[in-house]
Structure 1
Amino acid sequence: MTDFAVRLITEAERRSTFDLLSRSLHSNRVSDEDWSRYGESWPAEHKFAAFDGDVPIGVASSYETEIAVPGGRVLGVAAVDGVGVRADWTRRGVFSAMMAAQLADVAARGLPLAALHASEPTIYGRFGYGSAALGKTAWIDRPAARLHERVPAGGRVRMLTPDEAVKEIPGLYQRIGLHRAGMMGRPEVWWPIMHDRLAGPDGHHVTVVHSGPDGDDGFAVYATVDRRTPESPDKGVMLKVRELHAADPVARAALWRFLLSVDLVSGIRARFRPVDEPLAAMMADHRHALTADVEDDLWVRLVDVVAALDARTYRSAAPVVLAVVDRKLPANAGHYEVGPSGARRTEAAAHLTLEVDTLAMLYLGEWSATALAEVGRITARDSAALARADELFTTVTAPWCGTYF
């Protein structure tokens, strides 16, 4: 018997649970002024908390939005945007109980997928989440870096005022659209805390927009960090790119060209960029654009396996039968035939056996079946089945989320 209870929070508990999450993630409690501005981004809906009596000791939050999957379809997804446990209640089953309640709720609401960015990656595989999209950290050396002369050019880039950034960017993000697998919709509750707080009148980020022949088609959000010290007074400013979204290569190139033109900058750092973004190829000297790091970014959980598998497209290969093991949602366990015509449950013998977290690693196309088999995550009856799965699940464009939450 536990000495705590897990339930959905009430409207009156929004502030206390947000403060709890902030402290568990080693941030300060939100001020009254900031809560009045951004508190609506923390609605009570879909937030589970663990309580010791009436006192919250843990919280697991999500909001409902959309995610693009390979082939271009958009599915409903629970975006898990905050999980934390008070320090004196850790390792007592609070986290597991909240995650189980959240997962059961997502399944009951009929959402086929859940997704998160993992602060502690090793714990989420136990709940069926797999590392489904990677992100790279790009470092561009300034002032030496410049674009190659044949990189496309066109349109113009303008800088927005903070008020314009709050007003214009949500619509522009929607117009650009979810054009890569892994990209996610941004509902109204997302914008105040994740964009307005940084790029609006009280923030310190700069927003620029590219306009092409058909209007606005790309934007970037960045901040600057002074790297000068008494020992290195000429080190200069680092430009940190938080976001860069573009509808086409011309808009993307124009935004990078603008960032490279900012004066008094000694380097540009952009974290969680698409791993296949061709920054080095865009440079006159590709050594001036380095990949400083590649790390896990988006973690995905297939909540309704057959619905999720059938929603994406597959390349041309003979079907494979997957035996899926799901210890948290047993209704998902079973055999699934996956091929160019889609996915369905089957009684046929399995070619490949895997846990649902490994299936998530395959799902958006980031990892190959062969690689996952080599490290023991997939058991195969024969190598031919692995080769077919590689062909079926691979994607031409790497998956990418591009949204903090």
Structure 2
Amino acid sequence: MTHDVRTLDPDQLRSAHILFGSTIHRGPVDDEWWSRAATSYSPGRTVGIHDGGALVGTAMAFPSRLVVPGGGVLPMAAVTRVGVRADCTRRGLLSAMMRAQLDDVAARGEPVATLRASETRIYGRFGYGVATRGRDLRVRVGRPAWRPDAAQGGSVRLLDRDDIIPTLREVHEGIALTRAGSMTRQDSWWWGAIGRRVEDREPVIAAVHTGAHGDDGFAVAFRTDADSFSEQTLEVADLHAADMEATAGLWRFLLDIDLVSSVQAELRPLDEPLELLLSDPRACAVTGHHDETWLRLVDVPTALAARSYGAAEPVLLAVHDPLLEKNAGVYRIAGGGAERVAPLGSPMQPQLECDVAALAMAYLGDRSPSQLVATGWWRAHDGAAVHRADAAFTTSVTPWCGTHF
């Protein structure tokens, strides 16, 4: 069965928004809410499928930028609001939209696309692979909380409610593109993630860290339901820092707030060593691990050439991509760079082999080639090449995004 995937007109976007909301069990939005939400739709980047005149499937993307290992920055499509009406699922509508969207992203010259998967079974078949992960933390507040020789951090100042969004936006722009896996945020993101809660007069703590070179980090926390007046929990909604000093300063501030018994945060970086700063490392409990960024390499040659590689002897890697066949080929990774050197099936025999989703899992440095070979995601035709690939793809910092959309 074929489906007619069309770019939606501006006057159809509210219907698309309502349809997507229904697929995640949310009701319609009022005029005030829609006036805000409408600004998050990029012109010409929302598609839909109609059945009998009714919109039954939709997907959208907005432009962003992604940091890759070595500090390179790539144009990126951030894919979101993907949904099919409940009575029209299992008919190929999602596949049709995702394929059309990939073609559009490729035509726009965006080498990569990312999304946050509501269900893990869906997006691998379209070439997306888990490229960053995070851990959930719950920190029990105690005195003294910090090791005497732990990093101190600089100064921290609280923000007035009216200054929260403009100040955080400015600080984030200054530090967003400093870590592999991080991305830029469009203006409308701030209202959807934080601004609406501030406008609703929720109790909020927003603080900025200032280091030797100026503002270099921020944290936003909201109070959750309290067991008692003196046993309250803070939920960290957003915390970004340029370095360990800023990270330590912000966590130190949060854990020293009076009348708070614990602080919890979701999807923190896997390599954020908060427990090493505490006098009692068991006060920091890991309550979960989750996938974060699902990455799709839309233009494999460009993406592979954009990142840096560790010193290693050459590796020949075959990449398969059934949806975007131009990506398929044998790639030579050597001398700190990568290039396509032969088509699949040529006399040049690859030493390692994977599909494009499995390549995405190693691309930012989240998973090593040896892990992926051991678990069947990659195939090794030359055992010695596995260790060379590990050396090439290794990164000094675990990738992390920290922006949900």
**Corresponding letter in the other structure for 2:165:** V
2:156 maps to 1:161: no
SS in 2 for 1:178: helix
2:208 and 2:217 in contact (8 A); partners too: yes
Q: Measure the CA separation in 1 of the matches of 2:203 and 2:361.
A: 36
Q: 1:308 to 1:403 in 2, by over 3 A?
A: same
Q: Measure the CA separation in 2 of the matches of 1:299 and 1:133.
A: 7
1:14 and 1:44 in contact (8 A); partners too: no
Deviation at 1:47, TM superposition (A): 0.9
Which stretch has the larger CA shift, 38-47 or 6-15?
Answer: 38-47
Residue in 2 that maps onto 1:302? 297
Q: Measure the CA separation in 2 of the matches of 1:254 and 1:304.
A: 40
Residue in 1 that maps onto 2:373? 373
Q: Measure the CA separation in 2 of the matches of 1:403 and 1:207.
A: 17
Q: Measure the CA separation in 2 of the matches of 1:154 and 1:324.
A: 45
Residue in 2 that maps onto 1:350? 350
Q: 1:155 to 1:379 in 2, by over 3 A?
A: closer
2:211 and 2:246 in contact (8 A); partners too: yes
Residue in 1 that maps onto 2:325? 330
2:383 maps to 1:383: yes
1:177-216 to 2 correspondence within 5 Å? Answer: 177-200=176-199, 204-216=203-215
**Corresponding letter in the other structure for 1:238:** T
2:261 maps to 1:266: yes
SS in 2 for 1:397: coil
SS in 1 for 2:121: helix
Q: Measure the CA separation in 2 of the matches of 1:202 and 1:31.
A: 19
2:7 and 2:47 in contact (8 A); partners too: yes
Q: Measure the CA separation in 2 of the matches of 1:125 and 1:154.
A: 41
2:230 and 2:261 in contact (8 A); partners too: yes
**Corresponding letter in the other structure for 2:377:** R
Q: 1:195 to 1:12 in 2, by over 3 A?
A: same
2:110 maps to 1:111: yes
| Structure 1 spans left out of the alignment, 5+ residues | none
Residue in 1 that maps onto 2:241? 246
Q: 1:208 to 1:367 in 2, by over 3 A?
A: same
Which stretch has the larger CA shift, 326-335 or 183-192?
Answer: 183-192
Which stretch has the larger CA shift, 276-285 or 261-270?
Answer: 261-270
**Corresponding letter in the other structure for 1:49:** G
Q: Measure the CA separation in 2 of the matches of 1:50 and 1:299.
A: 24
Structure 2 length-normalised TM: 0.94
1:1-400 to 2 correspondence within 5 Å? Answer: 1-2=1-2, 4-143=3-142, 146-200=145-199, 204-228=203-227, 236-347=231-342, 348-400=348-400
2:232 and 2:262 in contact (8 A); partners too: yes
Deviation at 1:117, TM superposition (A): 0.9
**How many pairs are equivalent?**
400
Deviations 1:68-100 (A, max 9, x none): 000001001101122111111111111111111
Deviations 1:79-131 (A, max 9, x none): 11221111111111111111111011011111110011111111111000001
1:300 and 1:360 in contact (8 A); partners too: yes
SS in 1 for 2:187: coil
**Corresponding letter in the other structure for 1:358:** A
Q: Measure the CA separation in 1 of the matches of 2:229 and 2:382.
A: 60
Residue in 1 that maps onto 2:345? none
1:321 and 1:336 in contact (8 A); partners too: yes
| Structure 2 spans left out of the alignment, 5+ residues | 343-347
**Corresponding letter in the other structure for 2:267:** F
1:11 and 1:43 in contact (8 A); partners too: no
**Corresponding letter in the other structure for 1:246:** A
**Corresponding letter in the other structure for 1:121:** T
Deviation at 1:205, TM superposition (A): 3.8
Deviation at 1:34, TM superposition (A): 1.4
Deviation at 1:350, TM superposition (A): 0.3
Q: Measure the CA separation in 2 of the matches of 1:374 and 1:239.
A: 40
Which stretch has the larger CA shift, 293-302 or 23-32?
Answer: 23-32
Q: Measure the CA separation in 1 of the matches of 2:364 and 2:51.
A: 39
Q: Measure the CA separation in 2 of the matches of 1:307 and 1:145.
A: 50
1:162 and 1:201 in contact (8 A); partners too: no
Q: Measure the CA separation in 2 of the matches of 1:208 and 1:385.
A: 48
Which stretch has the larger CA shift, 304-313 or 163-172?
Answer: 163-172
Deviation at 1:204, TM superposition (A): 4.9
SS in 2 for 1:402: coil
Deviation at 1:174, TM superposition (A): 0.7
1:165 and 1:200 in contact (8 A); partners too: no
Deviations 1:254-308 (A, max 9, x none): 1101110122222211111110001110111111112221111111011000100
Q: Measure the CA separation in 2 of the matches of 1:110 and 1:393.
A: 24
**Corresponding letter in the other structure for 1:31:** D
SS in 2 for 1:309: helix
Q: 1:127 to 1:154 in 2, by over 3 A?
A: closer
Identity of aligned residues (%): 44
